[in-house]
Chain A
Amino acid sequence: MSGEESRLDLTLKAGDRLPSLFRTRSSLVARGRKDVAAMFNDTKADTLAETRRRAEEGYCEAQIELAESYYLGKGIDPDHSEAAKWFRRAAEQGHPGAQFCLGRLYDLGHGVSKDQIEGTRWLGMAAEQGNSEAQFNLGFAYYVGEGVQKDEAQAAHWFREAADRNNPAGQHWLGLMYAHGPGVSQDRVEAYKWLHLAATNNRESEYRTLSHETRDMLGDKLTAEQLAYAQRMATDDIESHRTAKEIHEKLSEMLRPPLSGGSPGSP
């Protein structure tokens, strides 16, 4: 750039090459940046197309993202059967989060015909891989006998697996089981411990208040009345069962699984 000047012109010219970085043209550059920002806000559809392309290439993460977009209607019309289709693609590649979601869609009959046996089968696969949401849901299926033979010992087993992974619902239900017995031997100290963990769990949870209340009732000053409440909670009291089920449904509606380790696999 300076070559055309005299061979060795040593007059000081401050920042020969620079002025444009600081002066007028910066407004022309700013204009480009503004248009760029506008362009890329307008192209959400492009992003979705890109996600779909990657999903079709077999990337788990993209498949799950696409499934969630369909399920929740994010940037696209909600379509539960498309959601189920893409969760299935990722689930068949062995992604535990997708297996959990697909299992729940079967349980709820969203986008597929309701089939609790099929639902529990997928939950089981995810649970075996250590997905704590699936472990809790599987435990609950055993607890109430939905899609599997009612089996409290199995319920306690899966609640514990979930509870050990810091899942608040698992902790709450394991606490309740210790409070009344079936499935595990009754142990109020253990019950108090798990309820306390659930009540103080940092994860966003519908159970926090409920666990808190139940735990306090189990505390040192355990009166006959409070014990009766704890037992009522845990036995097949229809009222409390329905409440718990509602909570369970609500929790499961929060279909966001931990999205980890997606990789391209066989499409």
Chain B
Amino acid sequence: MSSHLTRRLRPEEEEVLRKREELAAIRATLAERELELVDFRSQLAAFEGRYLRQVGVLYAELDEWKARISELQARLNPSAAAKERAHESREQARQTYEDAHGNASLFNDFTPSPELKSLFREVAKRIHPDFCTDSSDLERRTRFMAEANRAYEAGDAEALQRVLEEYHDGTDAMEGEGVGAELIRIIRQISQARARIAAIEREVANLRQSEIAQLREEAEGKQREARDLLAELAAAVRERIEDARREYEVLAKQESNPA
């Protein structure tokens, strides 16, 4: 009986309900993708840090010896070409040193807890820039989202919580009038979310093509054979450093005892 008295939803209201559900689902998907992206980046950054600390610094050392060798050679057999070579290899050594010892070498392995992950999901669902309704909102959301990414990558749950608290979501309040306006807003939000998901997929695909991702994949392949690619590479570079050092010593003797 009571069901007869219930006000029936008008068709457009039904559509709004359906679209809200669709939006909720797509927000969840997007938050998941956003999380995957930030995780993937963090893993790559962590691997790069490991690579730079284990191998990069050795390349820097190797290039340092090479630079010393060409500088010595330029002193032993002075010529414009030798000078030029010495200059180039010194520049290379400086560049390698900078690359190997830069900020990127500081990134450590990163294993976010399930709590941190679900907190990030919450934040991403709430403040995602693609759910904005006007351009001032967009900028605000983008800033918050960037901070959320930073907090997550730093493993800082408190900061992430602060982002969530300080962010006041404006869009859930109705701005336009009536069902029609809401329907339009939801449809736009869905389409923005879809576009963002596609953009994330492209970004992940690009990241996979990067040198560091490829190297990481190769390292994982070796790991399955219970081998450590970075350690093997480091050993190979160390041998070359040893060779370069010996070569330098031979040349240094020539310099101090000219025949």
Query: Which A residues are within 8 Å of any B CB, using their own CB?
Result: 1-3, 7-14, 16-22, 24-33, 35-36, 39
| Interfacial chain B residues near A18, Cβ < 8 Å | 41, 45
Nearest-neighbour CB distance to chain A for B220, whole angstroms, equals: 13
Contacts A17-B45, A28-B52, A32-B51 given; does A1 touch B106 at CB 8 Å: yes
Cβ contacts A to B, 5 pairs, < 8 Å: A2-B154, A10-B146, A21-B44, A26-B211, A35-B236
CA distance A35 to B52 in the complex (A): 15
Q: Which residues of A contact B45 (CB under 8 A)?
A: 17-18, 20-21
A31–B233 alpha-carbon span in the complex (Å): 11
B237 within 8 A of A: yes
A13 to chain B, nearest CB (A): 7
- Cβ-based interface call for B34 (8 A): no
Q: Distance in Å from the Cβ of B102 to the closest Cβ of chain A?
A: 7
Rounded to whole angstroms, the CA-CA distance of A3 and B41 in the bound complex is 18
Contact across chains for B162 and A1 when beta carbons are under 8 A apart: no
Selected from B154, B207, B215, the residue in CB contact (under 8 A) with A36 is B215
In the complex, are the beta carbons of A21 and B237 less than 8 A apart? no
Whether the pair B48, A17 counts as a contact (CB closer than 8 A) is no
Please determine whether B102 and A25 come into contact, CB atoms closer than 8 angstroms: yes
Q: A17-B41, A24-B98, A26-B212 are in contact. List 15 more A-B contacts (CB 8 A).
A: A1-B153, A1-B154, A2-B156, A16-B146, A17-B45, A18-B41, A20-B102, A20-B103, A21-B41, A22-B210, A25-B99, A29-B211, A32-B55, A33-B214, A39-B233
Contact between chains at A8 and B147 (CB < 8 Å): yes
Chain B residues in 8 Å Cβ range of A39: 232-233, 236
Q: Chain A residue with minimal CB distance to B144?
A: A10
Taking CB atoms, residues of chain B closer than 8 Å to A14 are 146
CB pair A36 B100 closer than 8 Å = no
Q: A8-B159, A28-B59 are in contact. Are A3 and B154 (CB under 8 A)?
A: yes
Instruction: Given A12-B142, A21-B48, A24-B99, check contact A2 B153 (CB 8 Å).
Output: yes
Interface contact B215-A35, CB-CB below 8 Å: no
* A11-B143, A32-B55 as given contacts; A25 in contact with B48, CB under 8 Å: yes
In the complex with contacts A1-B153, A10-B147, A27-B99 CB distance below 8 A = yes
Q: Which residues of A contact B147 (CB under 8 A)?
A: 8-10
